[in-house]
């Protein structure tokens, strides 16, 4: 599997239309050198540009969907197009990821389950997803999560129980918590004996410098590739079969003990 993680820079100096065109061009450039291409979270607006969510929200099959479906088909790649601020038919907002097949068909969408911001921002502006999503590819199964979801290990166990071997995590992670980003990406890989492909944004928006440092980790916790802080395409090749081998040789997942009693108070 050849993966390209497009760590696009998100700044207020560029219009959403321009960034959408640039992202589509970057996806097309991966033709012939990638099987799977990944974009970050909310790259049209920026994950911290809360006031833009409503203004730039789109229906699921909106302008970003159209641009990304076309780019996936032109490049002939599986495309995790990151997430968009989705507005549903009732007017509610969601942070929704889109995955396209190499023919440009929508293979899956995932509404972010854990919303960031505590009592403000995304946590109050957007609705919470309720469904875990996996995507079957010819050679492996993807499990979908978004940014702040990375902090919630039980979500990933659910994805693994659903067959996930490659955990794909678009993000808009801030520089000030970069240490958590790399630590949690490796932890999710080790504990789930799965590949982690975590794609962040570069640049700065809404006064929040972004960490960049997109990262690919193997099921043993080894970092196969890590981007720098700026705009970059991180290209990594890996053998998805390593998941099965690791789970067989070190079968820790089989030793899970479920349903233990809570401590007495």
Ligand X SMILES: NC(=O)CCC(=O)C(=O)O
Residues that are catalytic = 41, 112, 147
Binding segment for ligand X (CB under 6 A), chosen from 1-9, 101-109, 127-135, 143-151, is 143-151
Binders of ligand X among 2-41, rule CB under 6 A? 41
- Asked if 147 interacts with ligand X (CB under 6 A), we say yes
3-state per-residue secondary structure call for 51-106: HHHHHHCECCCCHHHHHHHHHHHHHCCEEEEEEEEEECCCCCEEEEEEEECCCCCE
Do 122 and 129 contact (CB within 8 A), yes or no?
no
Residue 73 or residue 93: which is nearer to ligand X going by CB?
A: 93
- Asked if 47 interacts with ligand X (CB under 6 A), we say yes
Distance in Å, CB of 103 to ligand X, minimum: 31
Tokens 């070190």 belong to residue: 250
| Chosen residue from 172, 200, 212, 219 binding ligand X by CB under 6 A | 172
| Chosen residue from 151, 162, 222, 244 binding ligand X by CB under 6 A | 151
Binders of ligand X among 173-212, rule CB under 6 A? 173-174, 177, 180
Number of residues that bind ligand X (CB under 6 A): 11
Distance in Å, CB of 131 to ligand X, minimum: 18
* 3-state secondary structure (DSSP) of residue 219: coil
* Buried residues in 43-65 as b, exposed as e (16+ CB within 10 A): bbbbbbbbebbeebbbebebebb
The C-alpha R_g of the chain, in whole angstroms, comes to: 17
Measured CA to CA, the distance from residue 106 to residue 36 in angstroms comes to 14
Site residues (vs ligand X, CB under 6 A): 41, 47, 116, 147-148, 151, 172-174, 177, 180
């Amino acid at each position: 599997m050849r993966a390209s993680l497009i760590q696009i820079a998100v700044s207020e100096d560029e219009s959403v239309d321009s960034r959408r065109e640039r992202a589509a061009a970057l996806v097309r450039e991966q033709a012939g050198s990638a099987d799977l291409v990944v974009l970050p979270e909310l790259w049209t607006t920026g994950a911290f540009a809360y006031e833009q969510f409503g203004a730039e929200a789109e229906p699921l099959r909106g302008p970003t969907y159209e641009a990304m479906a076309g780019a996936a088909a032109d490049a002939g790649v599986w495309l995790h197009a990151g997430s968009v601020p989705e507005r549903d038919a009732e007017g509610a907002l969601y942070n929704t990821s889109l995955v396209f097949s190499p023919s440009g068909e929508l293979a899956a969408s995932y509404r972010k389950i854990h919303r960031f911001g505590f009592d403000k921002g995304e946590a109050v502006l957007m609705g919470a997803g309720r469904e875990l999503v996996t995507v079957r590819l010819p050679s492996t199964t993807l499990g979908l999560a978004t940014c702040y979801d990375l902090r919630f290990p039980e979500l990933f166990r659910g994805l693994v129980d659903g067959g996930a071997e490659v955990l794909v995590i678009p993000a808009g992670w801030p520089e000030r918590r970069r240490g958590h980003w790399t630590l949690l990406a490796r932890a999710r890989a080790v504990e789930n004996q799965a590949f982690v492909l975590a794609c962040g944004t570069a640049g700065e928006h809404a006064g929040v410098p972004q960490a960049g440092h997109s990262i690919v980790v193997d099921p043993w916790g080894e970092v196969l590739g890590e981007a720098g802080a700026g705009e970059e395409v991180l290209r990594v090749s890996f053998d998805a079969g390593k998941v099965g081998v690791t789970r067989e040789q070190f079968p820790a997942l089989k030793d899970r003990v479920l349903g233990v009693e809570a401590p007495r108070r």
